[in-house]
Protein backbone atom coordinates (compact mmCIF):
# COMPACT_ATOMS: atom_id res chain seq x y z
CA UNK A 1 0.00 0.00 0.00
CA UNK A 2 1.28 3.45 -0.89
CA UNK A 3 1.73 5.69 2.14
CA UNK A 4 0.87 9.38 2.47
CA UNK A 5 4.60 10.14 2.32
CA UNK A 6 5.03 8.20 -0.93
CA UNK A 7 2.00 9.94 -2.43
CA UNK A 8 3.44 13.32 -1.44
CA UNK A 9 6.84 12.47 -2.93
CA UNK A 10 5.14 11.43 -6.18
CA UNK A 11 3.34 14.77 -6.41
CA UNK A 12 6.60 16.62 -5.72
CA UNK A 13 8.39 14.74 -8.49
CA UNK A 14 5.62 15.60 -10.95
CA UNK A 15 5.89 19.24 -9.89
CA UNK A 16 9.65 19.09 -10.47
CA UNK A 17 9.03 17.53 -13.90
CA UNK A 18 6.75 20.42 -14.87
CA UNK A 19 9.33 22.92 -13.59
CA UNK A 20 11.90 21.17 -15.80
CA UNK A 21 9.62 21.79 -18.78
CA UNK A 22 8.03 18.38 -19.28
CA UNK A 23 4.44 18.68 -20.45
CA UNK A 24 3.21 15.34 -19.14
CA UNK A 25 4.36 13.08 -16.31
CA UNK A 26 3.02 9.87 -14.84
CA UNK A 27 4.24 6.93 -12.80
CA UNK A 28 4.00 3.17 -13.27
CA UNK A 29 5.33 0.29 -11.24
CA UNK A 30 8.55 -1.29 -12.47
CA UNK A 31 7.63 -4.73 -13.81
CA UNK A 32 7.84 -6.89 -16.90
CA UNK A 33 4.95 -6.21 -19.29
CA UNK A 34 4.37 -9.79 -20.37
CA UNK A 35 1.24 -9.13 -22.44
CA UNK A 36 2.96 -6.30 -24.32
CA UNK A 37 5.98 -8.51 -24.92
CA UNK A 38 3.84 -11.33 -26.33
CA UNK A 39 2.17 -8.92 -28.74
CA UNK A 40 5.53 -7.51 -29.75
CA UNK A 41 7.08 -10.91 -30.42
CA UNK A 42 4.04 -11.99 -32.46
CA UNK A 43 4.35 -8.76 -34.47
CA UNK A 44 8.05 -9.36 -35.07
CA UNK A 45 7.44 -12.96 -36.10
CA UNK A 46 5.28 -11.66 -38.95
CA UNK A 47 8.36 -9.93 -40.38
CA UNK A 48 7.00 -6.46 -39.69
CA UNK A 49 10.21 -5.17 -38.05
CA UNK A 50 12.19 -5.10 -41.29
CA UNK A 51 15.95 -4.89 -40.75
CA UNK A 52 15.93 -2.98 -37.47
CA UNK A 53 18.72 -4.78 -35.64
CA UNK A 54 17.88 -3.31 -32.24
CA UNK A 55 14.41 -4.90 -32.50
CA UNK A 56 15.72 -8.19 -33.81
CA UNK A 57 18.13 -8.28 -30.83
CA UNK A 58 15.31 -7.57 -28.37
CA UNK A 59 15.80 -10.63 -26.14
CA UNK A 60 19.50 -9.89 -25.69
CA UNK A 61 18.81 -6.24 -24.89
CA UNK A 62 15.89 -7.12 -22.58
CA UNK A 63 17.97 -9.58 -20.55
CA UNK A 64 20.80 -7.06 -20.19
CA UNK A 65 18.35 -4.35 -19.12
CA UNK A 66 16.66 -6.45 -16.46
CA UNK A 67 20.02 -7.65 -15.19
CA UNK A 68 20.99 -3.98 -14.81
CA UNK A 69 17.79 -2.95 -13.00
CA UNK A 70 16.56 -6.02 -11.12
CA UNK A 71 16.95 -5.87 -7.37
CA UNK A 72 16.68 -2.12 -7.02
CA UNK A 73 14.22 -0.58 -9.49
CA UNK A 74 10.76 0.11 -8.05
CA UNK A 75 9.07 2.73 -10.26
CA UNK A 76 9.23 4.27 -13.73
CA UNK A 77 8.59 7.98 -14.22
CA UNK A 78 7.12 8.41 -17.71
CA UNK A 79 7.60 11.83 -19.28
CA UNK A 80 6.16 13.56 -22.34
CA UNK A 81 7.43 16.59 -24.26
CA UNK A 82 5.29 18.42 -26.81
CA UNK A 83 7.32 19.02 -29.98
CA UNK A 84 4.63 20.30 -32.34
CA UNK A 85 5.26 23.24 -34.70
CA UNK A 86 3.06 24.67 -37.39
CA UNK A 87 4.37 24.38 -40.94
CA UNK A 88 5.91 27.58 -42.22
CA UNK A 89 4.42 28.84 -45.46
CA UNK A 90 7.55 30.63 -46.51
CA UNK A 91 10.92 31.78 -45.32
CA UNK A 92 12.87 35.01 -45.09
CA UNK A 93 16.00 33.09 -46.03
CA UNK A 94 16.62 33.80 -49.71
CA UNK A 95 16.40 30.78 -51.94
CA UNK A 96 14.86 28.46 -49.33
CA UNK A 97 11.20 28.82 -50.27
CA UNK A 98 9.74 25.89 -52.15
CA UNK A 99 8.62 26.92 -55.65
CA UNK A 100 4.99 25.98 -54.88
CA UNK A 101 4.91 27.98 -51.60
CA UNK A 102 5.61 31.17 -53.52
CA UNK A 103 2.61 30.50 -55.73
CA UNK A 104 0.22 29.06 -53.16
CA UNK A 105 0.42 25.64 -54.83
CA UNK A 106 0.94 22.14 -53.46
CA UNK A 107 4.09 20.17 -54.32
CA UNK A 108 2.29 17.66 -56.51
CA UNK A 109 0.88 20.31 -58.79
CA UNK A 110 4.47 21.29 -59.52
CA UNK A 111 6.37 17.97 -59.52
CA UNK A 112 8.80 19.00 -62.32
CA UNK A 113 10.22 21.62 -59.94
CA UNK A 114 10.58 19.24 -57.01
CA UNK A 115 14.05 19.94 -55.62
CA UNK A 116 13.21 19.83 -51.91
CA UNK A 117 12.50 16.87 -49.66
CA UNK A 118 10.14 16.94 -46.71
CA UNK A 119 11.23 16.19 -43.13
CA UNK A 120 9.06 14.81 -40.32
CA UNK A 121 8.35 17.23 -37.47
CA UNK A 122 10.40 15.37 -34.89
CA UNK A 123 13.56 16.30 -36.82
CA UNK A 124 12.83 20.00 -37.36
CA UNK A 125 14.69 21.09 -34.25
CA UNK A 126 17.68 19.80 -32.31
CA UNK A 127 18.15 16.06 -31.82
CA UNK A 128 15.60 15.23 -29.13
CA UNK A 129 17.79 12.51 -27.62
CA UNK A 130 20.43 15.05 -26.61
CA UNK A 131 17.92 17.70 -25.54
CA UNK A 132 15.80 15.43 -23.35
CA UNK A 133 18.86 13.73 -21.87
CA UNK A 134 20.03 17.09 -20.53
CA UNK A 135 16.58 17.80 -19.03
CA UNK A 136 16.55 14.34 -17.45
CA UNK A 137 19.82 15.19 -15.78
CA UNK A 138 18.44 18.45 -14.42
CA UNK A 139 15.28 16.73 -13.16
CA UNK A 140 17.23 13.95 -11.45
CA UNK A 141 19.46 16.50 -9.70
CA UNK A 142 16.36 18.40 -8.57
CA UNK A 143 14.85 15.24 -7.09
CA UNK A 144 18.10 14.35 -5.35
CA UNK A 145 18.58 17.79 -3.86
CA UNK A 146 14.93 18.31 -2.91
CA UNK A 147 13.67 14.85 -1.95
CA UNK A 148 16.08 11.91 -1.82
CA UNK A 149 19.81 12.49 -2.09
CA UNK A 150 20.66 8.78 -2.13
CA UNK A 151 18.00 7.73 -4.64
CA UNK A 152 19.04 5.77 -7.71
CA UNK A 153 18.00 6.67 -11.27
CA UNK A 154 18.45 5.38 -14.81
CA UNK A 155 17.52 7.49 -17.81
CA UNK A 156 15.99 6.19 -21.06
CA UNK A 157 15.34 8.18 -24.25
CA UNK A 158 14.68 5.58 -26.97
CA UNK A 159 17.64 3.63 -25.64
CA UNK A 160 16.20 0.82 -23.49
CA UNK A 161 14.02 -2.17 -24.45
CA UNK A 162 10.90 -0.63 -22.91
CA UNK A 163 7.39 -0.64 -24.35
CA UNK A 164 7.16 3.08 -23.81
CA UNK A 165 3.77 3.74 -25.42
CA UNK A 166 2.30 0.98 -23.26
CA UNK A 167 4.01 2.55 -20.23
CA UNK A 168 2.68 5.99 -21.20
CA UNK A 169 -0.88 4.69 -21.47
CA UNK A 170 -0.56 2.94 -18.11
CA UNK A 171 0.79 6.18 -16.65
CA UNK A 172 -2.27 8.10 -17.87
CA UNK A 173 -0.53 10.21 -20.54
CA UNK A 174 -2.91 9.12 -23.31
CA UNK A 175 -3.95 6.05 -25.27
CA UNK A 176 -2.45 4.15 -28.18
CA UNK A 177 -4.22 4.99 -31.42
CA UNK A 178 -4.82 2.86 -34.48
CA UNK A 179 -1.63 4.20 -36.05
CA UNK A 180 0.18 2.75 -33.00
CA UNK A 181 1.19 6.18 -31.65
CA UNK A 182 0.30 7.62 -28.26
CA UNK A 183 -2.56 10.12 -28.49
CA UNK A 184 -2.71 12.76 -25.77
CA UNK A 185 -5.97 14.53 -24.96
CA UNK A 186 -3.94 17.71 -24.43
CA UNK A 187 -1.25 17.53 -27.13
CA UNK A 188 -2.54 15.08 -29.71
CA UNK A 189 0.06 12.71 -31.24
CA UNK A 190 3.01 15.09 -30.82
CA UNK A 191 4.76 13.91 -27.65
CA UNK A 192 8.33 12.72 -27.30
CA UNK A 193 8.27 9.96 -24.67
CA UNK A 194 11.05 9.13 -22.24
CA UNK A 195 11.46 7.36 -18.92
CA UNK A 196 13.41 7.54 -15.69
CA UNK A 197 13.69 4.30 -13.71
CA UNK A 198 14.17 4.79 -9.96
CA UNK A 199 14.43 2.86 -6.69
CA UNK A 200 11.87 5.22 -5.14
CA UNK A 201 8.53 3.52 -4.49
CA UNK A 202 6.04 5.96 -5.94
CA UNK A 203 2.27 6.15 -6.29
CA UNK A 204 1.18 4.58 -9.56
CA UNK A 205 -1.16 6.48 -11.88
CA UNK A 206 -4.36 5.09 -13.34
CA UNK A 207 -4.16 4.00 -16.98
CA UNK A 208 -5.90 5.94 -19.73
CA UNK A 209 -8.91 4.07 -21.17
CA UNK A 210 -9.52 6.03 -24.41
CA UNK A 211 -9.74 4.64 -27.92
CA UNK A 212 -10.25 5.77 -31.53
CA UNK A 213 -13.78 4.44 -31.86
CA UNK A 214 -14.73 3.86 -35.50
CA UNK A 215 -12.24 6.37 -36.93
CA UNK A 216 -9.81 4.91 -39.47
CA UNK A 217 -8.44 8.06 -41.12
CA UNK A 218 -4.83 7.09 -40.41
CA UNK A 219 -5.29 3.64 -41.90
CA UNK A 220 -6.82 5.04 -45.09
CA UNK A 221 -4.27 7.87 -45.37
CA UNK A 222 -1.09 5.79 -45.13
CA UNK A 223 0.48 6.09 -48.62
CA UNK A 224 2.14 2.66 -48.52
CA UNK A 225 -0.55 0.71 -46.64
CA UNK A 226 1.77 0.16 -43.68
CA UNK A 227 -1.04 0.23 -41.10
CA UNK A 228 -2.38 -3.23 -41.83
CA UNK A 229 -5.01 -3.18 -39.05
CA UNK A 230 -5.72 -1.11 -35.91
CA UNK A 231 -2.51 -0.88 -33.83
CA UNK A 232 -0.64 -3.18 -36.20
CA UNK A 233 2.04 -1.53 -38.30
CA UNK A 234 4.12 -3.26 -40.93
CA UNK A 235 7.23 -1.18 -40.32
CA UNK A 236 8.91 -2.60 -43.43
CA UNK A 237 6.36 -0.61 -45.49
CA UNK A 238 6.34 2.53 -43.32
CA UNK A 239 7.91 5.63 -44.91
CA UNK A 240 9.56 6.50 -41.58
CA UNK A 241 11.29 3.11 -41.63
CA UNK A 242 12.10 3.20 -45.34
CA UNK A 243 13.80 6.62 -45.13
CA UNK A 244 15.51 6.25 -41.73
CA UNK A 245 15.98 2.70 -40.44
CA UNK A 246 16.18 0.85 -43.76
CA UNK A 247 19.86 0.33 -44.64
CA UNK A 248 19.31 -0.87 -48.20
CA UNK A 249 17.47 0.10 -51.33
CA UNK A 250 13.82 1.18 -51.24
CA UNK A 251 11.54 -1.47 -52.76
CA UNK A 252 10.49 -0.34 -56.26
CA UNK A 253 6.82 -1.08 -55.57
CA UNK A 254 6.83 1.30 -52.58
CA UNK A 255 9.07 4.10 -53.88
CA UNK A 256 6.40 5.78 -56.07
CA UNK A 257 3.99 5.89 -53.12
CA UNK A 258 6.33 7.79 -50.79
CA UNK A 259 5.64 11.24 -52.22
CA UNK A 260 8.23 13.87 -51.26
CA UNK A 261 9.25 12.49 -47.86
CA UNK A 262 13.03 12.67 -47.47
CA UNK A 263 13.24 11.84 -43.74
CA UNK A 264 10.40 10.26 -41.81
CA UNK A 265 6.67 10.77 -42.40
CA UNK A 266 3.86 12.53 -40.53
CA UNK A 267 0.87 11.58 -42.68
CA UNK A 268 -0.86 9.36 -40.11
CA UNK A 269 -0.33 12.02 -37.43
CA UNK A 270 -1.43 15.12 -39.29
CA UNK A 271 -4.66 13.49 -40.42
CA UNK A 272 -5.51 12.27 -36.91
CA UNK A 273 -8.45 14.22 -35.36
CA UNK A 274 -6.40 14.54 -32.17
CA UNK A 275 -4.02 16.85 -34.05
CA UNK A 276 -6.73 19.48 -33.47
CA UNK A 277 -5.53 19.48 -29.83
CA UNK A 278 -1.94 20.29 -30.79
CA UNK A 279 -0.23 23.47 -29.66
CA UNK A 280 3.12 25.05 -30.41
CA UNK A 281 5.99 23.70 -28.34
CA UNK A 282 7.59 26.02 -25.79
CA UNK A 283 10.91 24.19 -25.86
CA UNK A 284 13.22 26.51 -27.84
CA UNK A 285 15.44 23.58 -28.83
CA UNK A 286 12.63 22.15 -30.93
CA UNK A 287 11.58 25.41 -32.56
CA UNK A 288 13.03 26.57 -35.85
CA UNK A 289 15.11 29.71 -35.77
CA UNK A 290 13.94 32.94 -37.35
CA UNK A 291 13.91 32.70 -41.12
CA UNK A 292 14.49 28.94 -41.23
CA UNK A 293 12.33 26.45 -43.05
CA UNK A 294 13.10 23.17 -41.26
CA UNK A 295 10.44 21.02 -42.88
CA UNK A 296 12.43 20.90 -46.12
CA UNK A 297 15.97 19.92 -47.10
CA UNK A 298 17.62 21.06 -50.33
CA UNK A 299 18.18 17.87 -52.30
CA UNK A 300 20.84 19.43 -54.52
CA UNK A 301 22.83 20.21 -51.38
CA UNK A 302 22.44 16.62 -50.19
CA UNK A 303 23.76 15.29 -53.50
CA UNK A 304 26.70 17.67 -53.40
CA UNK A 305 28.00 16.38 -50.03
CA UNK A 306 31.37 14.80 -50.67
CA UNK A 307 31.95 12.59 -47.63
CA UNK A 308 30.41 10.97 -44.59
CA UNK A 309 32.35 13.39 -42.40
CA UNK A 310 30.87 16.38 -44.21
CA UNK A 311 27.38 14.88 -43.83
CA UNK A 312 27.90 14.36 -40.09
CA UNK A 313 29.11 17.92 -39.63
CA UNK A 314 26.11 19.33 -41.49
CA UNK A 315 23.54 17.43 -39.42
CA UNK A 316 25.44 16.94 -36.15
CA UNK A 317 22.73 18.63 -34.05
CA UNK A 318 19.78 17.11 -35.91
CA UNK A 319 17.97 13.77 -35.71
CA UNK A 320 18.77 13.53 -39.44
CA UNK A 321 22.20 12.36 -38.25
CA UNK A 322 20.52 8.98 -37.60
CA UNK A 323 21.01 8.21 -41.28
CA UNK A 324 24.31 8.22 -43.15
CA UNK A 325 25.38 9.92 -46.37
CA UNK A 326 24.54 6.85 -48.48
CA UNK A 327 20.99 6.73 -47.13
CA UNK A 328 20.59 10.50 -47.56
CA UNK A 329 21.67 10.30 -51.20
CA UNK A 330 19.31 7.37 -51.75
CA UNK A 331 16.41 9.33 -50.24
CA UNK A 332 17.23 12.46 -52.24
CA UNK A 333 17.39 10.58 -55.54
CA UNK A 334 14.08 8.87 -54.82
CA UNK A 335 12.31 12.19 -54.16
CA UNK A 336 13.84 13.73 -57.28
CA UNK A 337 12.77 10.73 -59.38
CA UNK A 338 9.20 11.21 -58.14
CA UNK A 339 9.18 14.68 -59.72
CA UNK A 340 10.81 13.75 -63.00
> CB–CB of 318/288 below 8 Å?
no
Residues with Cβ within 8 Å of 229's Cβ and at least 6 positions away in sequence, in order, are 219
pLDDT tens-digit map of 122-171: 999 999 999 999 999 999 999 999 999 999 999 999 989 999 999 999 99
Alpha helices in 77-198 (DSSP H): 99-102, 128-146, 164-170
Active-site amino acid positions = 158
Mean pLDDT of 178-199: 97
Label residue 245 by pLDDT band (50, 70, 90): very high
> CB–CB of 220/97 below 8 Å?
no
Give the strands of the sheet with 75-82, arranged side by side: 24-29, 75-82, 191-198, 153-156
> CB–CB of 27/76 below 8 Å?
yes
Residue with the larger pLDDT of the pair 4 and 162: 162
- Return the closest-CA partner of residue 125 out of 288, 301, 323: 288
pLDDT at 257 over 80: yes
Label residue 202 by pLDDT band (50, 70, 90): very high
pTM: 0.90
> CB–CB of 239/266 below 8 Å?
no
Label residue 288 by pLDDT band (50, 70, 90): confident
For residue 46, give the 3-state DSSP assignment. Answer: coil
Dist. CA 59–CA 81, nearest whole Å: 29
pLDDT at 113 over 60: no
Dist. CA 236–CA 139, nearest whole Å: 36
| 228: Cα separation from own chain's centroid | 20
Amino acid sequence: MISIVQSTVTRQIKDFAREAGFHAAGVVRYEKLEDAERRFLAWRDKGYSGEMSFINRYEERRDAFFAETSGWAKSIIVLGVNYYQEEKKGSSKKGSDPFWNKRGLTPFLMTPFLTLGKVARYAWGADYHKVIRARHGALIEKIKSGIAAQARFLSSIDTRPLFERELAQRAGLGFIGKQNQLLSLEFGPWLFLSEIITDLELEEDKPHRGDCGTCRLCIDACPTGAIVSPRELDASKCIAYLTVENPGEIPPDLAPKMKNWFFGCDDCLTICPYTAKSKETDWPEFRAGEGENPQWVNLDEILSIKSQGEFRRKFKDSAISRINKKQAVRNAKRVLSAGS
